[in-house]
Amino acid sequence: MATEGCETGGRGSGGATALHSFAVVRNLGRFGDLPAYLTLQAETCMQYKPLAVDLDGTLIQSDMLIESGFAYVKKQPHRFYRPLMWLVRGGKAHLKAKLAESTNIDVTSLPYQRGSDCVLKRERASGRSIVLATASDSRYAEAISGHLGCSTRLSHRGKTISPPTKARRARCENME
């Protein structure tokens, strides 16, 4: 993840993603219509709310299930059928766990969204906690969280969960 252009807050050429849009909106001053004292209060409140960042499709341009599936087939092409067996036997969470157990993915080489590292650094510098919300296996969640410097991790704990559930759990875990 390149860090050039972090200070500018511009969109870049990749288009605005959910994470990147947040930075653009913040730079444009979403509280611009409020009086100065309310703007300061709103910005202060935002510091204490965690920034929940979804991994698959938001922070990275891919999905960890796809990345780990391709890594598995590349590593063991003669056993290409095993992931299908894992899926049938134990469901999606079991498949993700077995793929994570069988492969090693270099988290520094994942296709991160352009500018996402700038947003995370800026939010962390402002004192805001960052929660990595993902249904990916905890091995990948911990590795990516460590790479990005996220203070809190949230993973599936054996189930695939929806984005609204991830956000709710992120809020609850951060309050503990």
Distance of alpha carbon 114 from alpha carbon 117, whole angstroms: 8
Range of the domain at 131: 18-62+113-175
Instruction: Tell me whether residue 4 is in a domain.
Output: no
- What digits encode the pLDDT tens for the residues 118-145? 888 888 888 888 888 888 888 898 899 8
What percent of the chain stands above pLDDT 70? 58
Distance of alpha carbon 76 from alpha carbon 74, whole angstroms: 6
In the sheet that holds 130-133, the strands lie side by side as 51-54, 130-133, 152-154
At residue 25, the pLDDT reads 36
Average pLDDT, the chain: 74
Instruction: Tell me whether residue 11 is in a domain.
Output: no
Q: Considering the entire predicted model, what is its pTM?
A: 0.64
Domain count, the chain: 2
At residue 121, the pLDDT reads 87
Q: Do 123 and 165 belong together in one domain?
A: yes
**CATH number of the domain within which 119 lies:** 3.40.50
Instruction: Tell me whether residue 32 is in a domain.
Output: yes
Q: Do 58 and 122 belong together in one domain?
A: yes
What percent of the chain stands above pLDDT 90? 32
Q: Do 54 and 119 belong together in one domain?
A: yes
Instruction: Tell me whether residue 7 is in a domain.
Output: no
At residue 117, the pLDDT reads 85
Give the sign of the dihedral formed by CA 131, CA 135, CA 140, CA 144: negative
Q: How many CB atoms lie within 10 A of CB 143?
A: 19
Give the sign of the dihedral formed by CA 92, CA 93, CA 98, CA 101: positive
The token pair that represents 161 in the structure block: 């969960």
Q: Do 95 and 124 belong together in one domain?
A: no
The token pair that represents 121 in the structure block: 């650094």
At residue 27, the pLDDT reads 39
Contact 114, 12 (CB under 8 A): yes
At residue 153, the pLDDT reads 54
pLDDT of 156 strictly over 60: no
Q: Do 53 and 76 belong together in one domain?
A: no
Q: Do 155 and 74 belong together in one domain?
A: no
Instruction: Tell me whether residue 13 is in a domain.
Output: no
pLDDT, average across residues 62-70: 95
Domain boundary residue, one of 43, 76, 102: 102
Distance of alpha carbon 107 from alpha carbon 104, whole angstroms: 9
Q: Do 46 and 71 belong together in one domain?
A: no
pLDDT, average across residues 3-28: 41
Q: Do 122 and 55 belong together in one domain?
A: yes
Which candidate, 30, 40, 42, 92, places its Cα nearest to that of 66? 92
